[in-house]
Amino acid sequence: MVSIEGSQTNLKCLLVAAKCLSSFFDTVFTKLPQQQIEDGFNKFFISHNLTEYDVSLSATWRIISNAAISHHEHLLEVKKSCQEQKAFRESFLKTQTDFDIDFEDHEADQETQLLSIEDAVLIIQKLERKYQAISRRNYVRFVRERAAELHGQKVEIDATQAAIRIQARTRGYFARKWVREMRERELNILNMTPESYIRKRCTERDRKQKASAVGEGERIQQVEEFPGDLETALELLKTDFFFATSELPDPSKITKLPTQTNPDTVYRDACFRGIVSPNPQTELSELISQREICKIEGRLFLFDLRTFLTLTICIPLSLATWHKPKDTKVGCRWLLMSGAPDSGKTTWARATARASHITHVHISKNVVNMGKRRIYTVIKKLAKIERRILISVDRIDVLRKDPKNKGYTHRQMLLRTFLSDISNIKSATIIGMTKLPLEDLDSYILDLFPLHTVLSNPNDATRYELAVDCLSRNLELDRLPKFPKRIFDIEKQTNKVSKGKTAKFVTNRWSAANNKTNLS
């Protein structure tokens, strides 16, 4: 990490570097052969003694303009006050509303499923091994009880021999205790125990929070324009780098975003209706990422999910805050995420919105008690007011292919019309979410979303990192009663399970209540 002095020249160079990096990834890097990309990364990791978790790209808040950050903080305050008023109204009225964007309950059909022969054999083997283990335990317990009865018989022994046996057992107990404590201290110093690894994760998270808190006080004056190529930026860096930096700008002189007469009215309405997503508790850099299948305009490749979202979503949305208000060509491509339930689609969308300091609207099955047409109308009004807005639509699989029906249903027509209207608003970016394969969706939807990604179940290394992250968060909240002896045991217990279920299992299993939860 390199720290440079805050000035407009350095800021312009940072913006140019971020823009060129995003453009290089889109136009050059993704066109390379997949085997060449994987071999290059593997050679780099081996030569530098690193893993794929040690090398990642994250967007910084410095590439976002001060006007956008101030506007976003104002909206967060408005949302907080609306949530307090909404909670008071709900407690007073004691009403609960529900809204489902898809009236078909697909999860109910999946409650009863036929198992394959392989899965049935595995279940039978597991139960048989459990039965044999219980039988062996009962037999060993019987043998030990019988041995204890024989050993407990009173036999006369010499006082000297009794004292020698007592001393030997006492010295052996203290020696084993001393060796065990010494070994634990040594392993903690070498960071080779679960306790040291969990505490290290807490320390790293605390250090990042302190570093971000220190840098929040630095403000750089608004930049109207910045160079479009690296040559101009380097020439600017040579001529203006050693100039004296200006003092902090007056907050009253900061360029404000163009708004209407009463811009908070629509935003408050959206907050009261539960459309605006709550504040995410986890940052994008803290999420556990792994290589996923990504697709950009037909080019298919494997790449780290966090870096992919940073280069394709976060950086373009952040650079859009420096363009002039009259510039209407600024826009960001849409992303379509496919994955099983509890695979982390909503979590990634919220973390992306937090990293970009952007208003996030989430349409899920539980929003408000009103029709779809009213929801879409409020969102379109909010998208026209805000310069940047991120809309995530859950269960977009209502637009799946149905060979029996040639036409479209009413809810499909509403969603198609909504997406068509939002596509004309350049300030709006949509992240679609579905649990079906991308091939089962309508071709119209696939054409609207040039960016595709498929979220798979975590591998062994990802489950290990996810377990450590959940345990460290329980430790920060004083909810971890004891440290596990082996994290690999937790990793084995969550085999072939999605990220959401893995995190829920680890968090609840190793909590203060020590509740034993199932993975079903």
For Cα atoms 121, 127, 133, give the angle at the middle one, nearest 5 degrees. 135
Phi, psi for 337 (deg, rounded to 5)? -110, 130
Tokens found for residue 86: 């909404």
| Residue 406 φ then ψ, to 5° | -80, -30
Q: What CA–CA distances, in Å, run from 309 to 20, 50, 118, 321, 333?
A: 16, 22, 37, 18, 11
How are strands ordered across the β-sheet holding 359-363? 299-304, 291-296, 451-455, 335-339, 428-434, 389-393, 359-363
Q: Which of 70, 329, 72 is nearest to 222 (CA)?
A: 70
Torsion, CA 380, CA 382, CA 384, CA 388, rounded to 10 = -120
Distance CA 61, CA 356 (A): 7
pLDDT value of residue 39: 75
- CA dihedral (491, 493, 496, 498) positive or negative: negative
CA atoms of 214 and 419, how far apart (whole Å) = 41
Q: Where are the alpha helices (DSSP H) in 386-513?
A: 410-423, 443-448, 460-476, 487-493, 499-509
Strands 291-296 and 389-393: unpaired
Measuring CA to CA, how many Å separate 27 from each of 16, 22, 297, 320? 16, 9, 11, 19
β partners of residue 431: 335, 392
Q: How far apart are CA 70 and CA 268, in angstroms?
A: 17
DSSP SS3 for 407: coil
Quote the longest CA-to-CA distance of the chain.
102
Tell me the pLDDT of the chain (520 aa) as tens digits: 444 445 666 777 777 778 888 887 877 777 777 777 777 777 777 777 776 666 666 666 677 877 788 888 888 888 888 878 777 777 776 654 444 444 444 444 444 567 778 888 888 988 999 999 999 999 999 998 888 887 777 777 788 888 998 999 999 999 999 998 898 888 877 778 888 888 888 888 888 777 666 555 555 555 556 666 666 766 665 555 444 444 444 545 444 444 444 567 888 878 877 778 877 778 888 888 888 989 888 888 888 899 899 888 888 888 887 765 445 455 578 999 999 888 889 899 999 988 888 888 888 766 544 566 777 888 888 888 887 889 888 888 777 766 666 667 777 787 888 888 888 888 889 999 988 888 888 788 888 888 999 999 998 888 888 888 899 988 888 888 888 888 888 878 888 888 888 888 888 888 765 544 444 4
* pLDDT at residue 219 in the model: 53
